[in-house]
Amino acid sequence: MADHHILFYDYVENMAERRTPYREAHLAKIRAEREAGRIIMAGALGDPPHGGALVFEGMTSDEIKAYAASDPYVIAGLVTRWRIERWNLV
């Protein structure tokens, strides 16, 4: 079974309004990884959103760190903190 990891993001306040200029580029990046089979699912947490989670399959922690570092939300400073957790499926 392939390794699974979850990338958790914490967002700035008023994320729903502040993300607009970066949203399409952020979503395009997710779509590309999903089409390549590396992201299984992704989405915002909460209503209004206070964070996000992306589930990766078959990628190393270093590859996920590189993904996060190049995410338009991270680059724009909309993510205040992020972390990677290994997901041990049963």
Q: How far apart are CA 20 and CA 64, in angstroms?
A: 24
Tracing tokens 């996920």 back to the chain, one arrives at 64
Q: How does DSSP classify residue 38?
A: S
Which residues face 10 on adjacent strands? 51, 81
Per-residue pLDDT of the chain (90 residues; tens, 9 = 90+): 789 999 999 999 999 999 999 999 999 999 999 999 999 999 999 999 999 999 999 999 999 999 999 999 999 999 999 999 999 988
Count of structural domains, the chain: 1
> What residues make up the domain containing 81?
4-86
How far is the C-alpha of 80 from the C-alpha of 51, rounded, in Å? 9
- Cβ neighbour number for residue 63 with a 10 Å cutoff: 13
Contact 54, 73 (CB under 8 A): no
CATH of the domain at 59: 3.30.70.1060
Q: What's the pTM value of the predicted model, to 2 decimals?
A: 0.94
